[in-house]
Structure 1
Amino acid sequence: MTPVSRRLRPLIIAEAANPTLTSAALVGWSCAKAISAQTDAHIVTEWRNRSDFLQAGMVEGVHFTAINNRRLQHLSWSLATKFSRKGSFSWSLYAVLSNLVYPFFERKLWQTFGPRLSAGEFDLVHRLLPLSPTTPSWIAPRLKQIGVPFVLGPLNGGVPWPQGFEDLRQQERDGAGRLRSFYRFSPGLKQTRECAHAILTASRTTLHEMPAHLRSRCIFMPENAVDLEKFPPSPKATASTGANAPLRISFVGRLVALKGVDMLISAAAPLVRSGALHLDIIGDGPERERLQSMVQAENISSGVSMDGWIPHAQLGARLRESDLFVFPSIREFGGGVVLEAMALGIPAVVLDHGGPPELVPPGTGFVLPMTTRDDIVARMRQLLTELHGDPTQLQLAGELAQAHVRKYFSWEAKAAQIHEVYRWVLGHRAAKPDWGTPMGFAPPEADAETPVKSVLHPALVPGHGI
């Protein structure tokens, strides 16, 4: 296929994108901004994000348009807050309510951009947000009618609760999540997928939920990436050794039960007491008081730091003090903080469930089997003990982790990948882009122009795979 000489003109839907927030809002902003650097994109977002877009240097009407759907958005947030457990916001409930509100946003979007799309002002439409695979798109069939290609995703969600952790599900009050199996009956969802020219699936869970006849349109692409200015992949010093230089490990995230920080504390406690290890817990949340009580009960307060949240701009410098990043979340959709640690040359330890293991190829870190609580603690303790005895292996793992992030998971790399997807749906390249499933787990000689055989990630036993 012959590529066009001009820059592509995508209309990007990112209703929640915001440069000052975290999670999906920051992912949407970072991705949309990176795509805009490589194309003549125009971003459509919610009115509540308008001032932050302007503050970030975006020109209204040129770079973005803000759609006013504030009243309904505020209603969905207020209802989710009201019916959530105190100190633990129900994201599952908010997702359900947001799905009810989102069509009104797209209706207003169509009123503004429908005529411009029909006139050929944009090459395609890319719905970047919402990330939820259960959210229908009201404009998808209308785009099909006027012949404008539609790209959907990355989509992520629906990671099941692992067996043996029902108590945490009850603690999280994930009642709304039990209704998720009915999402396939959502009006317009089947039509949305049928009308999409490309569906970016951010996890194997989401990919496997797609109907078999749509798999040929699916491209595996996790939604997270790393800002290499905040987390520069410069060489990291070899892990320290010696009795007076403990192995330093860290955790970053919300302090809620499903993050598994209590398992980390239990696993690390004997090594912290002996002076072999220092644990840095960065974050805050409803579990903080209980976790601090655990630290005191284990008599390891002098070897554990729990200073709460720190500004994201300072996180890179703080993480660089660590030799190992441990993220034992039992139910995680993405795990962007894992990539941030890897970018700094810090190998990660994750559990083999959900999104994080899809970010850690063999050789770049450790993936522990998702088993029982007691077994996870035992395996994690064994791994930490082995790494304290031989910390030099962390340097090679860190170098491989940095190379993996630099090649596949910078925002610039993400935008380039999405650009290839655009070229494919527009007919400017013949082969569907394929970077492996999981992404980057394929042989290093493969490239984006040559589809590669998918490689599944084995669950690594502690101390192996590096």
Structure 2
Amino acid sequence: MSLHSSVRVLLSAYQCAPNSESVSQIGWQWYSRLAVQVPLTLVTHIRNRPALIAAGAPLGHSEIIYIDTEWFAGPLYRLATRLFPQSEHATFMLSSMDAYLYDSYAVRLLRQRQQQGQQWDVLHVVTPVTPKLATRLYHLHAPLVLGPLNGNVPNPSQFPEIMRKDSAWLYPLRSVARLPQWWWNTLEHTQAILVATRATLAGIPEKYHTRCFALLENGVDIHRFHPAPYPPPPSGDYPLRIVYIGRLIPLKAVNLLLDAVARIASHVPLHLDIIGVGAQKDTWMDMAAQLGIAEKIAWHGICTPEQMVAYLHQAHVLCLPSVRESGGGVLLEAMACARPVIALNAGGPAELVDDHVGQLLPTDNAETVITHLAVALKDIVAHPEAWAQRGRVGRERVEKEYSWEAKVKQGITLYGQLISSWQKSSL
């Protein structure tokens, strides 16, 4: 069943902003594409309002309801950053408690609107993407969709130094975050749970698996991230160009990439572009200097999507050495640009990357990663056409499976099926 243009959709996106970090981008992509197809009510946090207005929102057939919990969210975030200045993951764990207050405020306001006559045919909570997501939107008495959810990735204990820097001692406390989901009985009242990975599905109680549908949370704008011819083969005239895109935090493990680059730098002409910001930047810049490769690296900080595309087009490969990665949206962006990718064989990347589009590295320990990464980089120099072909296959795969257009189309199809089932069960 396809959606009729009169079907009313309520989209809750706690994080929702264009040209922002990955989760906010997920909310924006769903909103901006649904808004031009169906009557849509977007519920989102008030902190997203400036970015949404700057992007021309409200778009299409939509209205936006802003939920203001900043009196709680602001101080909570500042406290989290003071307690965990080196760990964005720990900061997120603490500051995300605001999402529960946001949901309570939203449900109260939406029930008031419902009492005044406003109705919705399907409800979709698209962000946050955590499998511990809790909501009481089911009180609006319409089919409820959660996700795509992503998480439940095992902790990489084989990298103890990296985990220590990321305040891993806090990780067991994540189980406490499931209490609201259990207390509110969210999953019992959900008609469809979109799960991004096998690890995510494993974290959902088995009795709800029949309600689960596979759908990656990340997508890619295949028009913005467009392909370009592969660079000239690495040589003295055009060095092997490597690009990393992501936050500079412990779990991203850029230090492993620096070690691998240092091992081949004396006999392979190369250049590494690092795009991103984070608490580890100064530490890793010092490390590069100590390894004697500082002059081979350019640190670009925050870049626009257009700048990212330009750096990807110059590159022979994108490397994502993250030791704990639930998603890996940057891999899709590189693949959309027809560039091969290298990542660790764990978490989300393990379900996106194979030998047809790049290479997965074994994760036994740090030394194993560094050794295999150095070998892979040298292989690009030895067999550039094989790696160029991986890039072309990556572009084809993204077009078929991972474009935002394809992803939202799947969501709309699911809405129609749920509405039909809901109506039949109400007869």
1:126, 1:62 → 2: CA distance?
A: 15
Label 1:161 to 1:94 Cα distance change in 2 as closer, same or farther (>3 A): same
For residue 150 of structure 1, what is the aligned residue in structure 2?
144
1:171, 1:33 → 2: CA distance?
A: 37
- Contact map agreement 1:12 1:43 (CA 8 A) in 2: yes
For residue 258 of structure 1, what is the aligned residue in structure 2?
251
- What amino acid maps onto 1:344 in structure 2? C
1:62, 1:292 → 2: CA distance?
A: 46
Label 1:20 to 1:283 Cα distance change in 2 as closer, same or farther (>3 A): closer
2:12, 2:360 → 1: CA distance?
A: 35
Q: Secondary structure at the match of 1:228?
A: coil
- What amino acid maps onto 2:281 in structure 1? R
For residue 285 of structure 1, what is the aligned residue in structure 2?
278
Larger helix share, 1 or 2: 2
Pairing partner for 2:262 from 269, 274, 281: 269
1:8, 1:124 → 2: CA distance?
A: 8
For residue 321 of structure 1, what is the aligned residue in structure 2?
314
1:26, 1:266 → 2: CA distance?
A: 32
For residue 194 of structure 1, what is the aligned residue in structure 2?
188
Q: Secondary structure at the match of 2:29?
A: helix
For residue 388 of structure 1, what is the aligned residue in structure 2?
381
Kindly indicate whether residue 157 of structure 2 is the aligned counterpart of residue 159 of structure 1: no
Q: TM-score, normalised by structure 2?
A: 0.91
- Give the CA deviation at 1:322: 0.2
For residue 312 of structure 1, what is the aligned residue in structure 2?
305
Q: Secondary structure at the match of 2:36?
A: helix
- What amino acid maps onto 2:34 in structure 1? I
1:178-219, Cα deviation, whole Å (9 max, x unpaired): 212344443545721111111011222211111212111111
- Give the CA deviation at 1:339: 0.9
Map of 1:100-139 to 2, 5 A cutoff? 100-115=100-115, 121-139=119-137
- What amino acid maps onto 1:306 in structure 2? W
For residue 79 of structure 2, what is the aligned residue in structure 1?
79
For residue 379 of structure 1, what is the aligned residue in structure 2?
372
- What amino acid maps onto 1:46 in structure 2? H
- Contact map agreement 2:81 2:91 (CA 8 A) in 1: no
Label 1:63 to 1:387 Cα distance change in 2 as closer, same or farther (>3 A): same
2:95, 2:201 → 1: CA distance?
A: 19
- Contact map agreement 2:87 2:250 (CA 8 A) in 1: no
- Give the CA deviation at 1:175: 3.8
2:163, 2:313 → 1: CA distance?
A: 33
- Give the CA deviation at 1:285: 2.1
Q: Secondary structure at the match of 2:20?
A: coil
For residue 94 of structure 1, what is the aligned residue in structure 2?
94
The number of residues matched between the two structures is 421
- Contact map agreement 1:235 1:399 (CA 8 A) in 2: no
Kindly indicate whether residue 166 of structure 2 is the aligned counterpart of residue 172 of structure 1: yes
2:194, 2:106 → 1: CA distance?
A: 20
For residue 37 of structure 1, what is the aligned residue in structure 2?
36
Label 1:86 to 1:299 Cα distance change in 2 as closer, same or farther (>3 A): closer
For residue 211 of structure 2, what is the aligned residue in structure 1?
217
Q: TM-score, normalised by structure 1?
A: 0.83
- Contact map agreement 1:85 1:173 (CA 8 A) in 2: no
2:341, 2:293 → 1: CA distance?
A: 23
- Contact map agreement 2:15 2:23 (CA 8 A) in 1: yes
Q: Secondary structure at the match of 2:136?
A: coil
In terms of mean alpha carbon deviation, does 44-53 or 10-19 score higher? 44-53
- Give the CA deviation at 1:152: 0.7
- Contact map agreement 1:348 1:364 (CA 8 A) in 2: yes
2:67, 2:88 → 1: CA distance?
A: 29
- Give the CA deviation at 1:50: 2.2
RMSD: 2.5
1:198, 1:268 → 2: CA distance?
A: 45
Label 1:347 to 1:189 Cα distance change in 2 as closer, same or farther (>3 A): farther
Label 1:91 to 1:158 Cα distance change in 2 as closer, same or farther (>3 A): farther
- Give the CA deviation at 1:277: 2.5
For residue 53 of structure 2, what is the aligned residue in structure 1?
54
- What amino acid maps onto 1:126 in structure 2? H
1:190, 1:43 → 2: CA distance?
A: 22
1:112, 1:62 → 2: CA distance?
A: 19
Map of 1:325-404 to 2, 5 A cutoff? 325-404=318-397
For residue 425 of structure 2, what is the aligned residue in structure 1?
none
1:389, 1:365 → 2: CA distance?
A: 15
Label 1:152 to 1:269 Cα distance change in 2 as closer, same or farther (>3 A): same
Runs (5+) with no aligned partner, structure 2: 423-427
- Give the CA deviation at 1:325: 0.5
- Contact map agreement 1:12 1:32 (CA 8 A) in 2: yes
- Contact map agreement 2:122 2:143 (CA 8 A) in 1: yes
1:248, 1:410 → 2: CA distance?
A: 26
Runs (5+) with no aligned partner, structure 1: 430-466
2:381, 2:222 → 1: CA distance?
A: 29
Kindly indicate whether residue 68 of structure 2 is the aligned counterpart of residue 68 of structure 1: yes
- Contact map agreement 1:42 1:63 (CA 8 A) in 2: yes
- What amino acid maps onto 2:102 in structure 1? Y
Identity %, equivalent residues: 29
For residue 26 of structure 2, what is the aligned residue in structure 1?
27
2:379, 2:181 → 1: CA distance?
A: 53
Label 1:41 to 1:371 Cα distance change in 2 as closer, same or farther (>3 A): same
- What amino acid maps onto 2:216 in structure 1? P
In terms of mean alpha carbon deviation, does 181-190 or 254-263 score higher? 181-190
2:86, 2:319 → 1: CA distance?
A: 27
1:343-399, Cα deviation, whole Å (9 max, x unpaired): 101111010111122222441111112211001111111111122111110121111
